[in-house]
Every structure is written in structure tokens, then in C-alpha cells.
Structure 1
Amino acid sequence: MLKTMKPSALPRNGFKQNKPESNIATIDVGGQLFQTTKQTLNLAGPDSLLSRIADAASAHLAPPFIDRDPELFSILLSLLRTGNLPSKAKALDLQDLIFESQFYGIETLLINSLSNPSHFDAFNLEKSLVLPLNGRDSPSVIATTPFGSVHVAHGSKITSFDWSLRKKSTILTEFTAVDSMLAISTKVAAAGATDFSGLQIIDLENGFVKETLNWENVTRSGSTVQAIGSSQEFLFASFESGRRNSNSIMIYDLNTLSPVNEIGHYEIFGAEINSALPATKLNWVPGYNLLMASGSHRGPSGVYGNIKFWDIRSGNVVWEIQEKVDCFSDVTVSDNLSAMFKIGVNSGEMFFADLRNLGVEQPWVCLGDRRKMVSGKKEGVGCKIESHGSQVFCSKGGDLELWSEVAVGSQQRSEDGSEARHFRKNVMGRMKDMGGSRITNLTFGGNKMFMTRKDQQYVEVWQNSARGY
């Protein structure tokens, strides 16, 4: 007699019931089991060890065994889950985390986490370490990458440190001293000097010149580099002829280094030198798609200069400021604040100009006490000013001021009818106690601030944590 099975007892496919494949992946690291999702492991990237484990993981197989430190793995797994390192990572050595991340193939995630600019808290910076340099020459210029690696020129040498600030290499250049430098990548830099012809593209790992970019005026004389800048697409170089009677700004494709355009070519004759100064500082302003080029000159009647904003596509100047009264000792521009800032060479005071009011004849607004030059002393000589995010940093001697924009309760109006803006000098945090000899370089990379001081053979690194992560 044929026995009939109940419908509920029959397999759904009529033959065999399969369990759905689990999304959970179990890994045995050094004898300790970890469970996570395959999606989390795949965040490590297709070429990583963890992604391959995710592809091979199965509930029917024994957990894969990795003979590594489980404590370090738990830190990196937390990095995958949240995008940030947990606070307990501070108890571990950074080098151990780096080596472990390289083993699993997730060093890029670690770099992005530790170099995240959003983790930069300007009000609570503290000096975390110093980067020693070979030889007796003080640093002349610093160039950083967005990941926090840094190249330091000192004398005729360039010393490079990777993103974890381990020393990678020191190379000897053809320059007597490097005056301008820009980091094209972690391995390549553009460098120039005011007494050596040409802009050199240097391989910093192997110590050789990949290419030399030159500019010649109508007399075919050599030219020296006065400043270097860049955008995401272009490399900018300010050249001056060896006879100092002509200058220009060349624009190169950042990837191919082929020339794209030339702007601001001046052949100088006699008294025209006042209006045709070479640019000694180049700042790209991405929000306006403009290049700010500034330069100054000390003459018998004092210091004078100019600031020009160039449309690099058309080659036209869209705004120019002639500096004759309290000319800038240093100047910078902030895209976040949509403003330009300078330190007056005579007064030593901070000034700002609102970029939203391009074309104003007298754009500068004094943010200080409007002190006047006393006994002919130039208070602003040697001051440095740089913007980072929504703050502006100004060095005066061995001290550093931090300026921020503050909101006011009511919308006040300035004399020209535009909305008044207010900036305040802050003395919060540890920076007020920094002291020391005069600051000679000030720059930023990732979530770090780098500075050098007169007659010192090292670079100071300032961060929000003494361990940097």
C-alpha cells in the first residue's frame, strides 16, 4: 500500500532543501574568533586579503585561520566598520598598525583615517614631535601632501617623510639652496631656486631630475623660479629672467607637464618695474577658479607690491590691488572664508579683504589695533600668514595667532553698504604657550601643522594628539 507524504514534509524543490548562504563571515585570527559581515570585509577593497576571505567564506567550511595578532586585527576591523580608529588604538604602536594594515591590504584606509583634515581642531593643537634633519642647514621651505607626508628642503638637500612621519630619504640637489618647492606626489616634487635656472621635477626616492621646465624671454636668457603653485589640474610657476628685466607665469598640465598657457608676461623698462613685479607667491582659489599672484619689492621709498587675480583660461586679470601704504609682509587667501588676509609690513597688523566684493578700490579692513609705525620700525617683517580650513594662522616672532570669523546677532553694514564681517583673534588651546625663536615656515598637510624656526635644524609637527592618532 502506497503511503502518501504530507505536503508540508515535502522539500520545496522536490529533492533537497538548501540552507540560504549566510552573510556572516567567521575568521580565526591567532586563535581568537571574529564575526563580521561579508559587506564589511569587502570594504577593504577587491585586492585585499579580507575581500578574498569574504568571497571564500562559507557556513559549511571551517573558519579560515590567520596567524596574526588578534588585538591588532580587532582595531583594523573596527576601522572597516566605522571608518575611524577606536580610542583604544592610542595604546598601540603606530608602526605595528601600519605593518598589520599592509599585511591585510588596507593601508590606504588607515592613511585616510589618520590624515583626515576634518580631524584637525585648530583650538587644541599641541606639539607632538620634531622631525630631525641631516646637516647644519636650517629648513628653507616645506612641501606637504594631502595625506600628511612632507618634504623639507634644507640647504641643497631635500629630506622626505612618509605619512606616518618616518624618514624615507635625503637627496642632494643641484641647487645651492632650494627656495621654492611643491609636492606633486609622495615621491615627486617640483623645486626651484632664485639663483639657478629652471624648474626641476625631482624623483625624491631615487634622487634624480625627471624633467626641467624652462622659460625664456625675448632675449633668450635663462630664468629662475620665484614661486610654485598648483590646482587639481595645473602646475603654476613664476619665472624671472636672469637679468631681472622680465617675468612670466607659466601654466603646465599637472599630469603631462606640457605647457598649457602663459599669463602675465612683462618686459620691464625703467620706471615700469613698480607695476611688473614677479609673483613670489601663488595661491589657487578653487571656489572662484582664479589664481592669486602676489609680489613685493623694497625700494628707496619703502616696500610696495601688487596682488593680482588671474583668470587662467583667458589670461586676464580680474582684480588687482596696488600695495603702497603698509604693503603686505605676507598674504594668503582662504576659499572657505572667501577672503584674503595680509600682515602689514609697517604696522604688523592683520587685514582682510572680502572676495565677494571684487573690484573695491580700497578692500582692506584692519583687524588689529591700527597701530602706526613707530620710529621707522617695520613690525611685520618676517611674519608668516597661512589659512587652513576656516581659520587663519599668523606668526609674529615665535608666537602664533589664530583668527576665526565670528557670527554677530544683527547684520551690520560696512561703509560701502555691504554686510560687515567680524574676525577675532583666539588665544585658546596650547598654541598660546608655544614661544621660541622666530617662525620661518608654516604649512599644513592632512590634519597636521608643520613649522620651522630660525637657526633650528628640525621641523615641528603640531597635532591634536601627542601620538597623532
Structure 2
Amino acid sequence: MKIPKDRVRFNVGGRIFETTSTTLANAGRNSFFGALFSENWTLKQPNTDSFSNCEFFIDRNPDCFSVLLDLLRTGDLNIPPNVSERHIYREASFYGLLDHVRSAKWGQFDGNRLRHSRSVTGRAPGDGTAIRAGPDGGCCVAHGSVVHVYDWIMEEHPPLNLDYQRVNDVAWVDSENIIISACERLGRGDGGMGLFSKSTGELRYKFQVCHENQVKSFTAGALSTSSDYKIFSSCKGRSNEYGVGVWDQVTGKQIDFLYESPGWSLGDADKLQWLNGSNCLLVATLFPRKDNCYISMLDFRDKRMVWSWSDFGAPITVDEKRVRDAIAMEDSNAICVVNEYEDLGFMDLRMNGGSVRWSSRSRMMKGKLSDEPCYPKLALHGGQLFSSMDDCISVFCGPDWVLTSRLRQGYGGSICDFSIGGDRLFALHSEENVFDVWETPPPPIS
């Protein structure tokens, strides 16, 4: 009897499974099963007419294979009690099905539908510096001189220890590599930045600042990355020279550097943000680092500042509204800022040095005031604006940025930083280094 062309048999660790090419095609071209198909998505059958011999042997865990095969059949993830989530993660990684597992666990990110998933207790003394969501649903957390890295099931990888050099900022290059900025040597050689493997903690290369063929010592600060594989960092030299350096992600080589000059008040920037649409970099030096705030847009192609704003010389009433964070909103041609009262301000990018249009609507539904309030932070994701204040995060939507919901978890105190990525929101609290994980529930089964 001829084998039906749509049927496929697997022997996984001694157990036999049968399925169809239609089910396997749900795994996608880049999966383990994608290799079984031709360019025209036609199943490559073995050269045999014997049904009993027509099978693919895979020396892996059959219990996990059963769960993942059911996921391809139904789109639902049902893990039995005898199978651990860690093993599912390992096997899904082998088969190239991590994205399928993640999408089955939670739905597409929506700030108004987020639900608290878990709280993770910190493992390092001292206040948290920053939390950064990874592209694969995990995160990294900086505490003093240590960066703790977690995968998407919140299992911790070996920590990255900078030998007593305090971490200034962290950023993800991709799902496997993390950049860390710190003071001069990183404890491992000249230069204030290094790229590390998230899995092993290995320092893959360090970034240097070169000027007139000389390597300079520097302190790296705020970080940003671009879609064309560039890394940006604010830099401070030993003689208080300020500037922004640019490096290639692949080679680690410096490809540009822009020094502060008269009229360009870059300072020791607190915030960098690359704008892919306009090929510009937002550079913000915020209160209370300086008595007044500087926000500018730099075009590295022409080596010039194309937009700037400062509250220097503004009316005294503006002192109440000193900027704590800033974020560029390309779709709205605007920059959003926030002050210590969580007033949101908006500046038109089409008007150089224009005034701030302040809104106090965010004061509604305020969170509980903490004994140690943290500076508010901003994030923009999927057309929604997020602002942290004390122990809660407010969500704003629509053309007028109306407050639509609020996220609060009672344990951990004030939120000192938060980050969105991998369809999750991570919020780092000031007390005991606790961070919360927020997820969007999956859509109901129809």
C-alpha cells in the first residue's frame, strides 16, 4: 500500500507519533520541521514504499514532543503535571518553536489588558539601577555592579559581575547579547562598555573610544541601539569632555563620535533614543542631574543638531515642571516629557525650541505615595504611552493621550524603572529589588 503523502511518522525517544504535513507546516520555515519540506512546502518523503520504515527518528524527550505536537495541532499549550515548564522551554528551543509557545502562553501586548503574572525577588543588595526587557520575553536587571539575566520562564542565567564597577545602563543587542555601560575599565580592560553573552556571561568584546589614533579612557552612560546594527552611548572623558559615541554591533569597532561643542549642550546624557524613521538620535540630560534640562535631536549624517529644547531662561513657574524623563514619538511628530508630579508635557518636533504643552490629567487615580518616591519614567509601545509614578504605572491612549488604565502591585514599594519587550512589561521596585512581570492574557478559545 502506498503511503498517503500527507502523513508523517516520528519515532521520538522510542515512542511513535503520527501527524500530517499540514500540522507540521504550522511550525514555520525556520523550525526544525521546516527542513522536512521543499521550497514549495511539499513534504520530502523517504525513498521507501514501506509504511513501517517511513519514519523520522529524533533522539529527544517524547513527553515534551507530545505537548509541542499538540500545540501545532490546536494552538493551545497544555502542559501535564509530569512535564516541567523548563523542559518544554528547552525542547521548544531545539525545535525552533519558542515563539509558538510564547504566543500560546500570552496574547498580543495591550497595556489596558495586562495582568500581573508573577513577582521575582532580587538577588543582590542595594538599589536596582535598571531593568530591560529582552526580545525573547526575558529581562535583565542591574544592581550596583551586577547584572542578573533571566530567560522567558524567569530562570536566571549566570550573573554578569563587573568587579565593583557600578553599572550605568544596560541594553539588549539581540536575544543572546547584552551591552553594559559602566565606569572606565569595566573591571576587565580599558573602555567603559562591553558586550556580554547572556547565557554564559562571557565578555565577547569591549568598546573603545579612539581619537587621533589614541585610545581614551571614558565612562559610558545611557545606551541605545538601532535597526542597522549600531550602538550609541553617551560618554564622559577624564577631563569632563562629553560626547556621543557610535559603534558597530557586529565588529565592536567605533564608527563615529560627536563631541559636545558650543551651542550643543549634550552633557552626561541620561537618555538616548534612536529614531529609525528620521535617522536621528534623541539626547536628553534631565533634572536633577543639572539645574535645567537639555533635550536635542542629533543627525549623525550631517554632524549637526537638528532640534533642541531647554528650560533654561524659562519663566520661574516652569521650575515646578522640571523634566524627569523624555521620549520621542515619531508618529506624532512630538516629544513627550514628564515631571515629578507626573504631569505629561508635549513638544512639537516641527517647532525648534518650542514651548511645552502641559497636561495634568495624569494626576487622576494617583497611586499610594511611598516613603522613597522614585523618579517617573516613560515608555511608548504599540501606540500606547506608559508613565510610572510611585507604585503604579499609568496607561494613556488615543490622540489626546487619555488615561485609560493603571497597573499596580502592592508588594515592593515605588517603581524605580520599567521596560516593555517580548510582549511583557517588567517593573522594578525600590524595595528588596523585587520586579513584577505583567502579561496580556491569551484570547479566549472560540
TM-score class, shorter-chain normalisation, is 0.7 to 0.9
Aligned match of 2:254: 259
Aligned match of 1:333: 328
Alignment pair present for 1:424 and 2:399: no
Q: In structure 1, what is the Cα distance between the partners aligned to 2:234 and 2:138? A: 25
Classify 1:237/1:213 alpha carbon distance in 2 versus 1 (closer, same or farther; 3 Å): same
Taking the TM superposition and a 5 Å limit, the aligned residue runs for 1:302-313 are 303-313=291-301
Q: Which secondary structure state, in structure 2, belongs to the residue aligned with residue 167 of structure 1?
A: coil
Alignment pair present for 1:353 and 2:344: no
Q: Which secondary structure state, in structure 2, belongs to the residue aligned with residue 97 of structure 1?
A: helix
Aligned match of 2:238: 242
**Farther-moved stretch of structure 1 (313-322 vs 218-227):** 218-227
Q: In structure 2, what is the Cα distance between the partners aligned to 1:260 and 1:87? A: 46
Alignment pair present for 1:228 and 2:223: yes
Q: Which secondary structure state, in structure 1, belongs to the residue aligned with residue 44 of structure 2?
A: helix
Taking the TM superposition and a 5 Å limit, the aligned residue runs for 1:290-309 are 290-296=280-286, 298=288, 303-309=291-297
Partner AA of 2:271 in structure 1: K
Alignment pair present for 1:344 and 2:344: no
Q: Which secondary structure state, in structure 2, belongs to the residue aligned with residue 362 of structure 1?
A: coil
Deviation at 1:238, TM superposition (A): 0.7
Classify 1:28/1:59 alpha carbon distance in 2 versus 1 (closer, same or farther; 3 Å): farther
Aligned match of 1:168: 157
Partner AA of 1:321 in structure 2: W
Contact 2:140–2:150 (Cα < 8 Å) also in 1: yes
Aligned match of 1:323: 311
Aligned match of 1:398: 391
Aligned match of 2:369: none
Partner AA of 2:162 in structure 1: T
Contact 1:111–1:163 (Cα < 8 Å) also in 2: no
Classify 1:21/1:208 alpha carbon distance in 2 versus 1 (closer, same or farther; 3 Å): closer
Classify 1:35/1:59 alpha carbon distance in 2 versus 1 (closer, same or farther; 3 Å): farther
Deviations 1:273-328 (A, max 9, x none): x93423221001112222111113548xx831111111122222111111333231
Q: Which runs of 5+ in 1 are unaligned?
A: 1-17, 372-378, 406-420
Deviations 1:61-119 (A, max 9, x none): 2263869887754553354467xx3164698753343244356x234444663698x71
Alignment pair present for 1:442 and 2:426: no
Contact 1:334–1:389 (Cα < 8 Å) also in 2: no
Deviation at 1:424, TM superposition (A): 0.2
Classify 1:22/1:456 alpha carbon distance in 2 versus 1 (closer, same or farther; 3 Å): same
Higher Rg: 1
Q: In structure 2, what is the Cα distance between the partners aligned to 1:168 and 1:137? A: 20
Partner AA of 2:286 in structure 1: S
Q: In structure 2, what is the Cα distance between the partners aligned to 1:333 and 1:236? A: 16
**Farther-moved stretch of structure 1 (310-319 vs 208-217):** 208-217
Deviation at 1:195, TM superposition (A): 6.9
Contact 2:210–2:254 (Cα < 8 Å) also in 1: no
Classify 1:465/1:240 alpha carbon distance in 2 versus 1 (closer, same or farther; 3 Å): same
Q: Under a length normalisation based on structure 2, what TM-score does the superposition of the two structures give?
A: 0.78
Deviation at 1:241, TM superposition (A): 1.9
Deviation at 1:199, TM superposition (A): 1.7
Matched residue pairs, number?
A: 410
Deviation at 1:49, TM superposition (A): 5.9
Partner AA of 1:284 in structure 2: W
Classify 1:74/1:188 alpha carbon distance in 2 versus 1 (closer, same or farther; 3 Å): closer
RMSD between aligned residues: 3.8
Q: In structure 2, what is the Cα distance between the partners aligned to 1:201 and 1:312? A: 23
Alignment pair present for 1:37 and 2:21: yes
Deviations 1:362-410 (A, max 9, x none): 2532221599xxxxxxx997111111221111111112111112xxxxx
Taking the TM superposition and a 5 Å limit, the aligned residue runs for 1:200-219 are 200-215=194-209
Classify 1:137/1:90 alpha carbon distance in 2 versus 1 (closer, same or farther; 3 Å): farther
Contact 1:175–1:193 (Cα < 8 Å) also in 2: no
Partner AA of 1:34 in structure 2: E
Contact 2:348–2:354 (Cα < 8 Å) also in 1: no
Q: In structure 2, what is the Cα distance between the partners aligned to 1:276 and 1:155? A: 25
Classify 1:73/1:354 alpha carbon distance in 2 versus 1 (closer, same or farther; 3 Å): farther
Taking the TM superposition and a 5 Å limit, the aligned residue runs for 1:58-207 are 60-62=50-52, 64=55, 73=65, 75-77=67-69, 79-80=71-72, 85-86=75-76, 88=78, 93-102=84-93, 105-110=95-100, 113=103, 119-194=108-183, 198-207=192-201
Q: In structure 2, what is the Cα distance between the partners aligned to 1:76 and 1:445? A: 24
Contact 2:30–2:96 (Cα < 8 Å) also in 1: no
Classify 1:164/1:281 alpha carbon distance in 2 versus 1 (closer, same or farther; 3 Å): same
Q: In structure 2, what is the Cα distance between the partners aligned to 1:391 and 1:40? A: 36
Q: Which secondary structure state, in structure 1, belongs to the residue aligned with residue 354 of structure 2?
A: coil
Q: Which secondary structure state, in structure 1, belongs to the residue aligned with residue 260 of structure 2?
A: strand
Deviation at 1:344, TM superposition (A): 2.2
Q: Which runs of 5+ in 2 are unaligned?
A: 38-42, 186-190, 313-317, 364-371
Aligned match of 1:367: 359
Aligned match of 1:10: none
**Farther-moved stretch of structure 1 (328-337 vs 215-224):** 215-224
Classify 1:141/1:33 alpha carbon distance in 2 versus 1 (closer, same or farther; 3 Å): closer
Contact 1:393–1:403 (Cα < 8 Å) also in 2: yes
Partner AA of 1:230 in structure 2: T
Q: In structure 1, what is the Cα distance between the partners aligned to 2:69 and 2:21? A: 11
Q: Under a length normalisation based on structure 1, what TM-score does the superposition of the two structures give?
A: 0.74
Classify 1:115/1:237 alpha carbon distance in 2 versus 1 (closer, same or farther; 3 Å): farther
